[in-house]
Structures are given as structure tokens and as C-alpha cells.
Amino acid sequence: MRERAREPIFNIPAVVLALLAILAAIHVARAFLPDDLDGAILATLGFSPARLSYLFDPRSVVDRLNQLAETSPVQAEFASSLLVFAPQNGVWFTPLSYAFLHGDNTHLIFNAVWLAAFGSPVARRFGASRFLLMGALGAICGAMIYFALHPTEFAPLVGASAAISAYMGAAARFVFQPGGFQPGCAPGMNSPLANFREMLANRQTVAFVLFWFVSNLLIGLGGQSFGISRAPIAWEAHIGGFIAGIFLAPLFDQRRKA
């Protein structure tokens, strides 16, 4: 008599588990570093729009630095240290590298929960390599939206939220469609990607997208007041990632709509 196959405790794809482990390992390792070394890593690998703007429009960055010197010398000193000590030739990697850093434990845990929930169906449907590439593009798109709206912001942007938002946007195109939830099947594996007309006609999809945008705005604008984060939340980057996921999903889908 053959033994029944054991069901995994956590039904999460291996690539998602590996990504969660990498994010957690980086965060734990940073906790043991001296403050000055951790600050250097944050300044070098976090995405600071002002560092990128300095390559194209140094005058505007200097003007912003002078404004900070008049209102907050402490912030001005921090801002100038980014330009002086963070290597400018590495700024091109920061629209992606920032996604591997997190501000605190709450930030990491919050992102890990959403990554497991929405990254899993996307990874199953798109495959590991496409899953990782979509996350990378979501992070970059989020950083670019944030850069466009805050070109002289010095404070580094960190966190995988924009990449996870891309997974949420991609998942919205298939998990709520007819046939998306069937017994014994992973969510969305048997349903084709919805086009925009089909998404608007699906009440669950519309409710999810509206809820995502409203909650993202509330948390982004009031995250510090609610005690969710000690630093401002870059909700603009989240929206950039979400929109990227919605539009890029057909390019990464392994189950093309006939």
C-alpha cells in the first residue's frame, strides 16, 4: 500500500521562499553591522532620486541642498554625505538594489506577508525566471515614478513594496476570473488572463483594485501617524509597480490566451 504524499505545510513556490530568505538574511546581517557601515550601505544601495538627478541637473540638486541648509542643517549634512561618500558610478544599480533593503522589522514582515500571498500565484503561473524578472521591472518602474515626482529628494528609498505591487497587479488579471479558483488547482492556473474590459466587468477584480489603491493611499499618506512606519512611505513607487504588473503580465504569462 502506497503512502499518501505529504502535503507541504506552506504551499509556497521555491523561488518565493528563496526570495523571502534572501530579504530576511540581508536584514538580519545589517542588524549586526556598526551603524556607520550600515548607513554607508543604505546610502550606496538605497535609491536616492537626488543622486540620479545630480548626473543630469546638478544645479537643481545644489539648490535643494542650499534650501535644506537654511531649514535643517542636520538634513543638509546627511544629504551632502550622500553626494560625497556614495559612489556616483554605482547609482545606476540603485533603482533595483533598494528593493533588497528594509527600514525595520515591521517593514520587512509586512512585505514578506504580501510577497508570500501574491507572489506565489504569479510564480506558479509565470515560472521562476519570469517571476524574478517581473519583480525587478516592478521595482525599477516604482523607482522611476518616484524619481519623476521627487527628483531632488535625498532620503533613500528602500523596500520590496514596488516589486510586490507588480505581483499584485499581475495577479489581478487572472486570480479573480471564472475558473480562477478550482478544487485541487492553484489559484488562477486554469483561467486565461483577463483583458481590461473583462477586468472592469468582474466585480471582484474591480473591488480588489479599488481597495488596493485606497488602502495604499491611506497607508502611504498616514503610515507614520498610524505607527506603521517610522519613515515616510513611498506610495507613489507602489502605484508605479502595480501599474507595471498589470501592463506587463501578458509578456510574462506562460499560459497565453488563445
- 185-212 pLDDT tens trace: 455 566 788 889 999 999 999 999 999 9
pLDDT surpasses 80 at 106: yes
Across residues 26-34, what is the average pLDDT?
95
Question: Taking a C-beta distance cutoff of 8 angstroms, is the pair 167, 122 a contact?
Answer: yes
Domain annotation for the chain: domains and CATH numbers: 14-252 (1.20.1540.10)
Q: Report, as an integer, the average pLDDT of 45-56.
A: 92
Using pLDDT thresholds of 50, 70 and 90, give the confidence band for residue 182.
very low
Which single residue is written with the C-alpha cell 502611504? 220
Mean pLDDT of 161-187: 78
Asked which of 65-79, 131-145, 186-200 is least confident by mean pLDDT, the reply is 186-200
d(CA 103, CA 184): 38
Alpha-carbon dihedral 146, 150, 151, 156, rounded to 10 degrees: -70
Provide the pLDDT for residue 30.
95
pLDDT in tens, 196-255: 999 999 999 999 999 999 888 887 666 555 555 555 678 899 999 999 999 999 999 876
| Mean pLDDT of the residues in the chain | 85
In the DSSP assignment, the letter for residue 192 is: P
How far is the C-alpha of 141 from the C-alpha of 37, rounded, in Å? 28
80 in Cβ contact with 43 (< 8 Å): no
Alpha-helical regions (H) of the chain: 14-31, 35-45, 49-56, 58-71, 73-85, 94-97, 105-126, 128-149, 161-171, 196-201, 203-226, 235-252
Asked whether the beta carbons of 50 and 154 are under 8 A apart, the reply is yes
CA 210 – CA 165 distance, rounded (Å): 14
**Non-local CB neighbours of 117 within 8 Å, separated by 6+ positions:** none
pLDDT top residue among 81 and 6: 81
Beta-bridge partner residues of 92: none
User: Which whole number is the average pLDDT over 153-162?
Assistant: 92
**Residue 245 in grid coordinates:** 504588473
